[in-house]
Amino acid sequence: MLNIDEPAHLQPQIALFRLGFRPFFLFASLFSVLALGIWGGFLSGINLLPQSVNPLWWHGHEMIFGFVCAVVAGFLLTAVQNWTGQAGIKGTWLLGLFSVWLLPRLLLLMPLAIPFTLIMFIDLLFLPLTALILAQAVIRVRQWRNFVFIPILTLLTLMSALSYYGVLTNQFEWINIGLYGAVALISIIVALLGGRVIPFFTERATQWQRQTAIPVLEWLSFISLFGLVISLILQEQILLRSMAGIASIVLLLRWHRWGWHACWRVPLLWSLHLSYVCIPIGLALISLGFPLSVGMHAITVGGLAGMILAMMARVSLGHTGRTLQPPSIMKYAFGLILLAAVFRVLAGINPLWSASLLLAAITSWVIAFGCFCICYGPMLCQARIDGRPG
């Protein structure tokens, strides 16, 4: 088991680099606020990006691989410590990995004469390095149940490479394959983790009793989501809508068994439940023939970003030694990110109001994640209040 009484002098002096969730949660959130602000400026006619950067590609790539993947990495690097009992990455090594993530984000925003392919090469190192760190811990204790995240991170690297290939060759279809394929892969991660933590958290915080998982539902959810990835790569519309429809139904059936009816008095619970259900809603929109972008934004804004905000709010409290009572303003932040998803979906359906709805979605997101940065930034930059490492 992990030595929780590690002497203070062996812990990194800078608290921000004592465990993976700290830098990635904070700076990914800050980056999302900056990136959405830049995107809002672009939609309003103010382009703050270098002329060498394709704004449409930058927005999609950076929100998925810059923001979402950073939080996923931070969560997995923290969770693997609890799963395996092996000490998590920290200090200089964590700073190095964080720098590999941060450098491409900054270079893409700066009008410097740096080859785009060099930025691409640095960026494509991040997820494989994260996978390697996770694999070392999992293999060391032969915990094969959690090895599944390594191939998923590897496939995410491939999706990022496809999107880079698309922008380098001016083939927008490859950009979409890479970005939408990544969303489907991250949905698999959320389905895996959601099935573990949402019923567990609900049982711990309410009187609801957790039910035994149904293996057929578990397998069907992952098979259908992986089938969605394949259909996106092949660009087969009938297969795409079929896989989306199956995945939507199966994910809803799983969620229905997780005690959603008992969660409404606890913000850290209803935020998880409502965000998770945005994924099957987005898949349903795809299966019903709505534009692919509409369904994907329901998944990314409501499902992925909503789950991220809710999980960061909980994990940051627990891993800094605090009680699981978020600042009161966070319940409004949880509501705002869900509202942002509604605005973004409506923007794709109603062209007449699209511009206003897009700016409303961006504003809601910026306020929601801005609240997280203000409330949780000091916690993430300070040592645990109970004196334990991490």
Kindly state whether residue 35 falls inside one of the protein's structural domains.
yes
- Residue 196, in any domain of the structure: yes
- 3-27 burial, b for 16+ CB within 10 Å, e for fewer? eeeeeeeebbeebbbbbbbbbbbbb
Cα separation, 361 vs 346, in Å, equals 10
In-domain check, residue 2: no
389 located within any domain: no
Q: Does a structural domain hold residue 33?
A: yes
Residue 390 covered by a domain: no
What pLDDT does residue 10 have?
66
**pLDDT for 113:** 80
Q: Which residue has the tokens 């203000």?
A: 374
Whole domain around residue 71: which residue ranges? 8-381
State phi, psi for 146 to the nearest 5 degrees: -95, 5
List, for the chain, all residue ranges whose pLDDT scores fall below the cut of 70. Answer: 1-10
Listed residue (131, 118, 98, 115) closest to 30, CA to CA:
98
**What confidence score (pLDDT) does residue 84 get?**
85
Domains held by the chain: number: 1
Computed on alpha carbons and rounded to an integer, the radius of gyration of the chain in Å comes to 20
CATH number at residue 21: 1.20.210.10
C-alpha 232/C-alpha 224 separation (Å) is: 12
Residue 4 has what pLDDT? Answer: 43
- The whole-number pLDDT of residue 181 equals 97
- Alpha carbons 264 and 380: distance in angstroms, whole number: 27
Helices (H), 91-171: 91-107, 116-123, 126-140, 149-168
In a domain, 160, yes or no: yes
| Position 29 in a domain | yes
Question: What is the pTM for the complete model shown?
Answer: 0.93
4's CB contacts (< 8 A; 6+ apart) are 388, 389
d(CA 46, CA 57): 17
- Residue-wise pLDDT tens digits, 23-54: 999 999 999 999 999 999 999 999 999 988 99
